[in-house]
Structure 1
Amino acid sequence: MGDILFLAHRVPFPPDRGDKIRAFNVLKHLSTNQRVHVVAFADDLADLKRANELKLGETRIVWRGKSQAVAGVQALLTGKPLSLTAFDSKEVRETVAGLLARYPIDTIYVFSSQMAQYVPENAAQKVVMDFVDMDSAKFKSYGATTGGVTGWMMRREAKLLGQYETAVAARADASLLVSDEEAALFRERTGAERVHAVGNGIDTASFDPAAPFEHMPAGDGPSVVFTGQMDYRPNIEGVTWFVEAVLPLVRARYPQATFAIVGRKPSAAVQALAAHPGVVVTGEVADVRPWLAAASVVVAPLKLARGVQNKVLEAMAMARPVVVSRAAATGIDHGGTIAVGETADEVAEAVAGLLADPMRATALGQAARQRVIDHYGWDAKLAVLDRIMGLGAPSAPRRAA
């Protein structure tokens, strides 16, 4: 059994955001049986120092400093998707070639479609492509709701990236998506055959209300909490809609209710929401668990959501009552242990109803925790990888997209 080369668009450590959480746990799982070498980009200066923390085979971290403007010009000049030109790097290409020459690598695990460009042409290795989500579908949704030049770029990205995803899947030995729904959509739009759903899990020992962490003092009124990366468009749009359309309805019944937006890199639009009554924007916090534990209700009011929302699994694991949009609930086998609403009235009623009935809220939270314990352990979710990684070697060399 040979080594694995793991290519990631972002350093998979620490597991403190959605893509890093999945990448970290996949990497941890793969490294139990085989030596794994890692090549990853860093877009945070702190991540440049993470190589020794991964404790794997050879690990190379490359700074991604290319601006969106430069990547955009390159995309237009080359006819490629911006998602590819933004991650195009001569250094990474040379690093990958060097690792493949030095080590007995028999499998290349590609995490996110941006990294598929580094799979060599005529690669003899088995290629496992973890798309996670179908990014072209995300850009198609963006393009349908955005006007002007930005909307045109989004529609262009959806088209070109969709073509690229199709080509990559045709050459890969296995294509992975994060949910059955996402896998079905991918098959429908690409015609790909070797497609597998490999879901996300949750560390229920860490995300446990009984775990050791510093608790926050109780506030004067009920607290509604949202957690997430706050420079990410779906999160920005979700909290903006909640503040403008839902929170006033909740505060009409509970004037002391607060809404905490917890997450790193809040955009200017998110920071401006702090001017609304009852809204708190925290920025980056060392640990989201104290905020979740203190929440009367956790919300995920996303209008656009792909795959499985880790923020929802984390809140469920912390035994909190959770209210989500239908989009945010997609892909989660919640068994009715979270409340789902779509309109502002529906979401506000679900939140206010839980605030009005603490016993029901507690029971719902406890049921949600038990649900993730029963269905969302990482070992169980990633067991399918053992079968996928054991697929036979390609019968003939494949050309990378």
Structure 2
Amino acid sequence: MKILFLSQRVPYPPDRGDKITTYHVMRHLKERHELVSGCFLEEPKEEGYAAKLRGMGVRVHGFPIRPRARKLWALRALLTTQPITLPYFYDRRLANAVASEVAQGVDLLLAYSSSMGQYFSPYPALPKIQIFAELDSDKWLQYARNHSFPGSWIYGREHRRLLRFERELAHAVDACTVVSEVERELFLKQIPGANVAILPNGVDLEAFRPGPEGAREPATLLFTGVMDYGANVDGMLWFHREIWPQLKQAIPQARLLIVGSRPVPAIRALAASDVEVTGFVESTRPYFERATVAIAPLRIARGIQNKVLEAMASGLPTISSPSAFSGIDAQPGRDLLVADEPPAWVDALVGLLRDRERREALGKAARVRMETAYRWDAILGQLDHLIADARARAAARAR
């Protein structure tokens, strides 16, 4: 079977949230089908990533874009009825590549992220699966609630316009997927009648595994994530402002590692003798091995947070906000800790940093939970069933 898989970014390497999922989906499908990838290349080095995929047997249509110019172009949507997101990810070169592949014969269209589903509309007869992961429109609603005018107006507008598109898309495809039951309930509340299944994120249990205990540095906190992403920036600025000073009063030797590419100036400004801001790193694993506790203090989050899964798979005791924990199949208090307001965060951090046995128990339980519930091979077996069902639905339409 020939599958055309569309994603916003080249699905390699698996070093950020969306690319972690698209990489594992790509790897799973290429072992079973003829796979064609359609994606965008945001940096010159990503030409090498596309070449890597071609070496793995995937045909790649990868088109370079300039993100800054795209953002300016997308803002023109404010003068139309479109959401800003769609013109940012629309490109005639990719549309032509999709048309060419369909003309040669495609058995299934698959897209990751609703913005890539806009390429489906010319092909109503083909089987189609949309991996939503989560409702992007709801993320914009959260941004609107956390910003003042004019940001609140722009984000609120994007929420409304994108939700309208998501509704149209969900009813035009044969199957939709989201990452958790929490997301499925929200999805069906906003888009009643959609055929929506749960396809969770997984975690690479070989890449993220417990390291040597002797590598741990005392009283060291770890946050991982792309550091120009709004939710990560907001979460870490809030943590540094509201929690870090109180923690330092209780545990003066505490250190903070902020690990992730493209830190914005506000994040770089946090760097100090006790705060390390790394920028891009080849691998986060050494930092998981160094840290005492992982933190995920996100106030705005949708879907499943890979940073939490990776920390737990690494056997690292983890403290998460309710937003970052939402949708994860784990038990607070046994597998990780969940804290909301600053006093709860300080209490949880101080308690863990002063109690080695508690840290070890949480870390071991976290690893077991990841091994039980978040293996990629088991999760992606569900995608095979969805593909068969989508093809059956398309065949029924054709009769």
TM-score range, shorter chain: over 0.9
Distance in 1, Cα, partners of 2:386 & 2:87: 30
**Shift of residue 218 of structure 1?**
6.0
| 1:144-185 CA-partner distances (Å, limit 9, x unpaired) | 221222221111100000000000000010011111111110
**Shift of residue 77 of structure 1?**
3.3
In structure 2, relative to structure 1, the CA distance for the partners of 1:240 and 1:151 (3 Å cut) is: same
* 1:43 is the counterpart of 2:68: no
Q: Choose which of 347, 359, 376 in structure 2 pairs with 1:378.
A: 376
Distance in 1, Cα, partners of 2:178 & 2:313: 23
Distance in 2, Cα, partners of 1:156 & 1:29: 37
Query: What residue in structure 1 maps to residue 98 of structure 2?
Result: 96
One-letter code aligned to 2:120? V
* 1:230 is the counterpart of 2:227: yes
* 1:198 is the counterpart of 2:199: yes
| 1:231-278 CA-partner distances (Å, limit 9, x unpaired) | 011111111111111111211111010111110000111111225x62
Distance in 2, Cα, partners of 1:100 & 1:176: 23
Secondary structure at the counterpart of residue 299 of structure 1: strand
**Shift of residue 205 of structure 1?**
1.2
One-letter code aligned to 2:72? A
Query: What residue in structure 2 maps to residue 365 of structure 1?
Result: 363
Superposed CA RMSD in Å reads 1.7
**Shift of residue 31 of structure 1?**
1.9
**Shift of residue 210 of structure 1?**
4.4
Distance in 1, Cα, partners of 2:367 & 2:14: 20
**Shift of residue 217 of structure 1?**
6.4
Whether contact under 8 Å (2:247, 2:346) holds in the other structure is yes
* 1:68 is the counterpart of 2:71: yes
Query: What residue in structure 2 maps to residue 26 of structure 1?
Result: 25
Distance in 2, Cα, partners of 1:126 & 1:238: 39
Distance in 1, Cα, partners of 2:2 & 2:121: 16
Query: What residue in structure 2 maps to residue 305 of structure 1?
Result: 301
Distance in 2, Cα, partners of 1:58 & 1:255: 54
1:229-268 matched pairs, under 5 angstroms: 229-268=226-265
Whether contact under 8 Å (1:299, 1:324) holds in the other structure is yes
Query: What residue in structure 2 maps to residue 52 of structure 1?
Result: 51
**Shift of residue 78 of structure 1?**
3.2
Distance in 1, Cα, partners of 2:115 & 2:171: 16
Whether contact under 8 Å (2:124, 2:172) holds in the other structure is no
Percentage of identical aligned residues: 35
**Shift of residue 51 of structure 1?**
2.2
Distance in 2, Cα, partners of 1:245 & 1:350: 14
Q: Choose which of 288, 305, 326 in structure 2 pairs with 1:292.
A: 288
Distance in 2, Cα, partners of 1:26 & 1:198: 11
Q: 4+ runs of 1 displaced by more than 4 Å? A: 215-219
Query: What residue in structure 2 maps to residue 12 of structure 1?
Result: 11
| TM-score, normalised via structure 1 length | 0.93
Distance in 2, Cα, partners of 1:190 & 1:345: 38
| 1:110-135 CA-partner distances (Å, limit 9, x unpaired) | 11111111114243210000011110
Secondary structure at the counterpart of residue 110 of structure 1: strand
**Shift of residue 29 of structure 1?**
1.5
One-letter code aligned to 1:223? T
One-letter code aligned to 1:93? A
Query: What residue in structure 2 maps to residue 147 of structure 1?
Result: 148
Secondary structure at the counterpart of residue 256 of structure 2: strand
Provide the aligned length of Structure 1 versus Structure 2: 389
Distance in 2, Cα, partners of 1:204 & 1:116: 30
